Amino acid sequence: MRKITFLLILSLSTTFIFAQDESQTPTPNYRLASKFSPANLGKLVHSTTVRPNWLKTGNRFWYQYKTTEGSNYYIVDPDRRTRTKLFDNAKMAKWLTEITKDPYDAQHLPRFNFEFVKNDTAIRFRVTSTEEVEAKDEKKDNEKKADSTKAKKKKKPKMEKKVYYLEYRLGGNGLTIIDNSKDDEKRIRWANVAPDSSIVLFSKKHNLYWMDKENFLKAVEDEKDSTIVEHQWTTDGVEHFSYGGGGRGQTNVEKEKTKDDRKSVFGLWSHDSKKFVLQRTDSRHIKDLWVINSATKDRPTLETYKYHMAGEQEFYKPYVHIFDIPTKGMTEVKLDTTVQQSVGLYSHRYKKSDDSKHKPAMLLSKKGKIYFNTTSRDRKRFDVHVADINTGEVTTLIEEHFNTYIESRGKSIRLFNNESEILFWSERDGWGHYYLYDANGNLKRQVTNGEFHVDTFQGIDEKERVLYFTANGVDKNIDPYYAHLYRINLNGTGFKSLNPGDFNSDINVSDSKKFFVSNYSRVNTVPKSELRNSNGSLVMKLEEADLSQLMATGYQFPEPFKFKADDGITDIYGVMYKPFNFDENKKYPLIQYVYPGPQTEAVNKSFSPRMNRTDRLAQVGFIVVTLGNRGGHPARSKWYHTYGYNNLRDYGLADKKYVAEQLADKHTFIDIDKVGIFGHSGGGFMSTAAMLVYPDFFKVAVSSSGNHDNTVYNSWWSETHHGIKEEKDADGKISYKYMIDKNQSLAENLKGHLMLTTGDIDNNVHPAGTIRMADALIKANKRFDFFLFPTQRHGYGNMTEYFFWQKADYFSEHLLGVKVSDVDMIEMNRETPKDD
């Protein structure tokens, strides 16, 4: 019989009551876990990537990079292979001190937001001093009142921090004060300004309104100016079938207060500013959903919003309107509104070097054509169309059909060669690849081909007819999730890897397509950044992340691994996180952090300083692992991605269990009799399902904000990835059949310890899903734990840190046999400054 001794341990931090087990189960180490809080990590890890800001002239870019020595700003000229500091930090600190009369030094400069001017030979930026001056808006108001015969006694002026708008000529020896303006252009959130700035559109009382430039400038000065002239364009707009506006996230009280305000309207302008294309959705027939914020200052507040749940017969009805600016006429794109489908408009993409403040959303086509797509309700049909901007007549260009859902990633078409050719992404052969069409929708050729996944479009060199893109799985000797940059000629020849290596990379290609910045790492390597050219040749090394302070804390990289799925064939990739005080002679409980996808997998492939869900939890005294599963990430084959179709609850669980068993077989320090699991959202749904499908294997779960009952979750996610069946009766009437397994149907299977949590105003995964799970467990006479986070949406916001320690407590008690006895969360109190 195993000997157990009960001990009470008092320390400077948390007090534990635990059963000491001679099997050498580790003692929870809250002090070690607290060292890696998000607040502390911000002091230990600074920049890990180079984010290039490409300039308009040449191929140059600038970037900011922070290390333990402070921030530096660099300008890179790839053509000359030079990298120099944008300015001398010590001199900049001296100039700022002299001008603002506030002290600066080289290591503690403010974070600048640069604007390049004068053909990229100078920069302008603003700094705010501690000196207080009379607010300019207040000064204008006082001047108006002084001129009024009814002016009252002048009030004490409103004060504000003085702002300096400064210019630095590159290579110069000082700063020039431009003015003291806070911003040279006041932001008006409701205004949709035409590309030529001649007219401004907005929504009011659910209808479309407009005003000219002269009146808009009045609004910039004072939105309540009574002389502003505005014009109503439409009259049939109503709530939930409006021309803009919207109040998602507003309480009913807030909606009432703002009902007569000007609101934003989103749409796409023609490049000549003569047309405006707006998508309008009729959701009046969609049922309401509600959340209540009980922890408000006054009365609890109700938030009412439209929410379409999976399997409901109703569906959103999309309309696309074309507004003619000169005539104030309106035309509709000819859509079949009797068919349940969604519509997506294709938009113009600005150059990365375009730093213009005014960048209105515009149509993809510069010739005024309206390119758009339609997706059927069951997501098995995806079609690309073009509409005539004057008549609204529609021509279908590309038709895509599949027996499972059609992946929406990468569905943005690319027009080039004077809009005579179209590049289209598809998984029609089982892998994601690019296909080339002419402007009439005739297939010219498949551009990329093979057993790999083309992921992101990075650009086309039209003159050379070369396509640049990232892809996964090309090199069969490395992790298939690692993304790299490739090039290929549009005729399908010349396929080449531009940054090969055993790592994952994040790519940023210049507008000219001649150079790209690659940020690369694995979870177990220091992040590095480099500059390469379009042939893949290294131009220069840029940065290597400064992890010196992190490593000084005892941090250790996690360990990637690969095992087989439950079929014994498919490779499953994961990452193992150990305590930094790891002792191979101890037996550690195993905890899985899960997110089932299928739109992604919660497995890091690059180094990340965000470790709240993995590295940090491991420090308490666990082996924490993340791993994929069949039916997970779309960056593999279509077969892998859609493995869970029609079985969205259970599809990934067998792989999670089988990989855990393989890990324990390989590593004697893993205690396979103590397996926990946790996850958020879809991971909350999956972790509870694991406890109920394999109740003798998974012993403890913390399931946060889970969509346990997908019939009360949004239709997009579960109808897409699980499937919904379209049926037609004898009269041709279409109905939709949706059947999905729910976690609560297995409530009677619970054997271990389960904690359910949710935010009380979660308007994404509604609290009803968690509450229904709790209801089923109660009716099954099961003991479990339930926690509600007041005032929190889906992500728990400012209560995330509290949730981390709550989760640590739960796993500590039920996997380590140690129950925390303090009423205070000491680790949180230690980091919170106290007022005198």
Residue 813: per-residue pLDDT: 96
Q: Residue 784's pLDDT is what?
A: 98
> What CATH code is assigned to 560-825?
3.40.50.1820
Peptide linkage before 52 cis (omega within 30 of 0): no
3-state DSSP assignment of residue 807: helix
d(CA 576, CA 568): 21
Cross-strand pairs, 470: 485
According to DSSP, residue 786 is labeled E
Q: How many residues are there in the chain? A: 836
**Cβ contacts of residue 706 below 8 Å, gap of 6+?**
679, 680, 681, 682, 683, 684, 685, 686, 687, 688, 743, 756, 765, 769, 770, 773
Instruction: End-to-end CA distance of the chain: give it in Å, rounded.
Output: 55
Which backbone phi and psi does 824 adopt, to 5 degrees? Answer: -85, 145
- Closest Cα partner for 482 from 511, 501, 503? 503
Q: What is the DSSP letter of 552?
A: H
Q: Which residue from 601, 661, 648 is spatially nearest to 626, judged by alpha carbons?
A: 601
Beginning with the edge strand found earlier in the chain, give each strand of the sheet holding 433-438 in spatial order. Answer: 414-416, 421-426, 433-438, 443-446
Torsion angle, alpha carbons of 669, 671, 677, 678, to 10: -50
**pLDDT number for residue 2:** 47
Residue 295 has a pLDDT of 94
| Sequence-separated (6 or more) residues with CB below 8 Å from residue 194 | 200, 201, 269, 273, 276, 325, 360
Buried b (16+ CB within 10 A) or exposed e, 378-413: bbbbbbbbbbbbeebebeebbebebebbbbbebbbb
Two structure tokens written together for 669: 């320090």
Is residue 813 within 8 Å of residue 819, measured between CB atoms?
A: yes
CA-closest candidate to residue 433, choices 406, 465, 464, 469: 469
Query: Can you list the residues of the chain whose pLDDT is less than 50?
Result: 1-3, 5-6, 12, 139, 149
pLDDT at residue number 209: 98
User: What does the DSSP assignment read for 481-528?
Assistant: T-EEEEEEETTS---EESS-SSSEEEEEE-TTSSEEEEEEE-TTS--E
Amino acid, res. 814: H
| Cβ–Cβ < 8 Å for 716, 729 | no
Q: What is the CA radius of gyration of the chain?
A: 30
Q: Give start and end residues of each alpha helix (H) in 85-227.
A: 89-100, 136-147, 213-221
Under 8 Å between Cβ of 560 and 502: no
Domains of the chain by residue range: 53-179, 560-825
Q: What is the three-state SS of 38-74?
A: HHHHHHHCCCCCCCCEECCCCCCEEEEEEECCEEEEE
State residue 147's pLDDT score.
52
- At residue 72, the pLDDT reads 96
